[in-house]
Amino acid sequence: MNMSGTKDHNKIIITRFCYAPNGTFGMLQYNDFKSFTVEPPWKDNMPFISCIPDGEYIAKWHRSPKFGPTLAVEGGTVSIFQSSEHDRSHIVFHLGNWPRNFEGCIGLGRKFKCVSGDIGVSSSMVTVKEFLELANEEDNIPLIIKATEGAKL
């Protein structure tokens, strides 16, 4: 607990450490759970090809037609569903090992890896499953996405 008596846990914090031309990478922490994150590169928040901006969001349970029950990101320029008031929609946590597996969404993995010059993560399916099972009892989870010192764009 912090000094005000509120809990510091039950937040999802993604600390991005690498904004590369071919992908964005970070570390996710949710209570005692930790994993690597993989996203598309930063391309000025353009739909389907860019990661979302650093900022404060809410992770809400959503049944994705493509990925089933998962957490969707909402807040700032991002909405779960398309809206004229938001630049981005349908940003969810789902499996994938490489930035090319995502159209703006967030993937999780056990280890950071480089294969033939491609940077990604390993064991995405099991890592995403574990994360979603841990978050299963909560909804509207605060999500903070930030850059680590020195990793800003």
Is residue 3 in some structural domain? no
What range does the domain containing 92 cover? Answer: 12-147
In a domain, 45, yes or no: yes
Please state, in angstroms and as integers, the Cα–Cα distance from residue 150 to each residue in 38, 110, 140, following that order. 18, 23, 30
pLDDT reported for residue 122 = 96
Instruction: Supply the pLDDT for residue 22.
Output: 92
- Give the model's pLDDT for residue 69: 96
> How far apart are alpha carbons 38 and 10 in whole angstroms?
21
Query: Does residue 68 lie within any of the structural domains?
Result: yes
Name the stretches of the chain with pLDDT < 70: 1-9, 152-153
- Residue 5 maps to a domain: no
The reply to whether 6 falls in a domain is no
Whether 43 is covered by a domain: the verdict is yes
Number of domains in the chain: 1
- How confident is the model at residue 150, as a pLDDT? 74
Per DSSP, which regions of the chain are E strands? 12-20, 23-30, 33-39, 55-64, 68-74, 78-79, 88-89, 107-109, 112-115, 118-121, 141-147
pTM (two decimals): 0.91
Does the residue 152 lie in any domain?
A: no
